[in-house]
Amino acid sequence: MSEPASADGDDRARDASADAATAESGGDEPLLEVRGLRKYYYENDSLFDRLLGREPTSVKAVDGVDLEVYPGETLGVVGESGCGKSTTGETLLRLREATDGTVRFDGEDVMELSDDELTRFRKRAGIVFQDPFSSLDPRMTVGDIVSEGLKIHNLPEESPADGRSKREWRRDRARELLERVGLSADQIDRYPHEFSGGQRQRVGIARALALDPEFIVLDEPVSALDVSVQAQILNLLEDLQGEFGLTYLFIAHDLSVVRHICDRVAVMYLGEVVETGPTDDIFESPKHPYTEALLESVPRASVEEQGRRVDALSGDVPSPRNPPSGCHFRTRCPKVIQPATVDIPQEQYRGVMNLRDRLERQGFTAESVWETLESERDTVAFKEALREEFDLAGLSGATMDTVEDALEILANGREEEAADRLRDAFASPCEEEEPVLTGGEHAAACHLFADEEYDRDLDPDEVGNAMGGVAGVEMAGEPSPDGDTAAAGDSADATDSAESDDADGGAR
């Protein structure tokens, strides 16, 4: 995207926000503190399912997230679609009930709030949703949408002294807010369909501001918008933060957006935070291989970099129903650690692990490979096809013998046994234990950082090749509950063609 403001402007905004953080916090007390947050969705869990004898299955959308957000700062939460960002945002606001964990807001345990306390919390902490098309009720005027929260909270508490009714007061407040977000007060009686996407998002922001919150979850607030409009909305959000001393949790999958608006970033993968730290540290010296891959997927502005190799991140995205053991990223990681008994180029190790992973997840059968071959039951051609598919051609010695053995078993239609053979010989230390976040202010959950023993000081070229070019990785798809990889570009980018009309700042 084009930058929302000049780099200097962004830096100033960040510095101001950091100053505000320090000033308001009086040090280091977080406004929001999340510990061990879990949210599992249960499927096949209805009475009907039980009558049919179906076992409930859990989708581990959020699986032990720790976060802190300090007053006045913006914490970015990033990751591919489906990694649990929205669920985290909604659960910490108690819009969804958590499965486990604690959330403290200004020292209070949000999970334990009584109804009255929850009502007060809802005034202090709000949300702006991603999709300005579905998040506004089409039957309500924007005035009613913006002032709805005031009405629900029975505001103003007393009748205004100037003789206005409470309703008139609320309408005036809605007018003020519409103007503040760049719309015109006389649009108050219009309906959402009369506005462009960018303007609707302004309405969503005005609604979130109505109760004078201190903290707002911004759930991909610009990803459904045209690029030129994204910059305006981001600038508006930054201005509002400065003016009202707001604290943001900014959810995004687009890292170029995050870089300009966030003070710190938490990177999520399959329901967990895998890296967290100051924005500049994350961008300039990422630690986790997943963060590196995400950063490589950001489009480059410079001409030299545009021609760089950009390949898909290797391996399919696992299902949150049954995440991989140990490090969840190991099935795609270009730096996955080899066992002590194996020492082969990383690219080849990745290939062997990809083959095994596909077999374990029943990603293909021997029969499906045979069907692609022209020659009848030619085992040599069968093995050749798989060597090519999984980049196994350069193997030699004992490693090659083992892989050839597994391919032979596979050619005979014994998929499980072939996977067992590969597991016995090649199991990675990364699959034994789940890594924990370590490293202080800039922390990563990766065995490469947790244990020197594993740090083999990999040759960066090898690593680049191993991930199908870590030097240029593109997220090919999105995590989905069933493990399928959704086609890129078929979701949130429903850009409103009217957006370019909005380039004047929204007011019409």
Ligand X SMILES: Nc1ncnc2c1ncn2[C@@H]1O[C@H](COP(=O)(O)OP(=O)(O)OP(=O)(O)O)[C@@H](O)[C@H]1O
Binding footprint of ligand X on the chain (CB under 6 A): 41, 59, 61, 79, 81-87, 253, 320, 479, 481
- Phi, psi at residue 445, to the nearest 5°? -105, 85
In the complex with ligand X, the residue whose CB is nearer, 61 or 67, is 61
Residue 17 or 86 with smaller CB distance to ligand X: 86
Q: What is the DSSP letter of 182?
A: T
Least CB distance to ligand X at residue 491 (A): 7
Which of 47/340 has CB closer to ligand X? 47
C-beta of 481: minimal distance to ligand X in Å?
A: 4
- Measured from the CB atom, the residue of 216 and 359 that comes closer to ligand X is 216
How far, in Å, CA of 239 to CA of 358, rounded? 48
CB of 323 to ligand X, least distance (A): 10
Helix axes 397-411, 415-426, angle to 10 degrees: 160
Smaller CB distance to ligand X: residue 137 or 490? 490
**Do 298 and 255 form a contact (C-beta atoms < 8 A)?**
yes
DSSP annotation string for 268-335 = EETTEEEEEEEHHHHHHS--SHHHHHHHHTSPP-SHHHHTS--EEPSSPPPPTTSPPSSSGGGGT-TT
CB of 335 to ligand X, least distance (A): 23
Instruction: Report cis status (omega within 30 of 0) of the bond before 156.
Output: yes
Q: Is 307 exposed, middle or buried (0-12, 13-18, 19+ CB in 10 A)?
A: exposed
Question: For the chain, first and last CA: distance in Å?
Answer: 24
* Residue 219 CB, nearest approach to ligand X (Å): 7
For ligand X, the closer of residues 130 and 241 by Cβ is 130
Which residue carries 């609604």 as its tokens?
Answer: 207
Minimum CB distance to ligand X smaller for 59 or for 294? 59
Place of tokens 């960018």: 198
Planar angle of CA 44, 48, 50, nearest 5 degrees: 65
Distance (Å, whole) CA 100 – CA 228: 40
Angle (deg, nearest 10), helices 166-180 and 142-152: 120
Strand order through the sheet with 108-109: 57-69, 32-43, 100-105, 108-109
Q: Which is nearer to ligand X, 292 or 478 (CB)?
A: 478
The rounded distance, in Å, linking the Cα atoms of 448 and 454 is 6
Closest distance to ligand X from the beta carbon of 82 (Å)? 4
Residue nearer to ligand X on the CB measure, 319 or 399: 319
Minimum distance from residue 81 beta carbon to ligand X (Å) = 3
Nearer to ligand X, 269 or 382 (CB): 269
Nearest distance, CB of residue 32 and ligand X, angstroms: 18
Q: How far is the CB of 398 from ligand X (least distance, A)?
A: 39
Structure tokens at 128: 């702006």
**Least Å from the CB of residue 73 to ligand X:** 21
Neighbours of 110 (CB within 10 A): 22
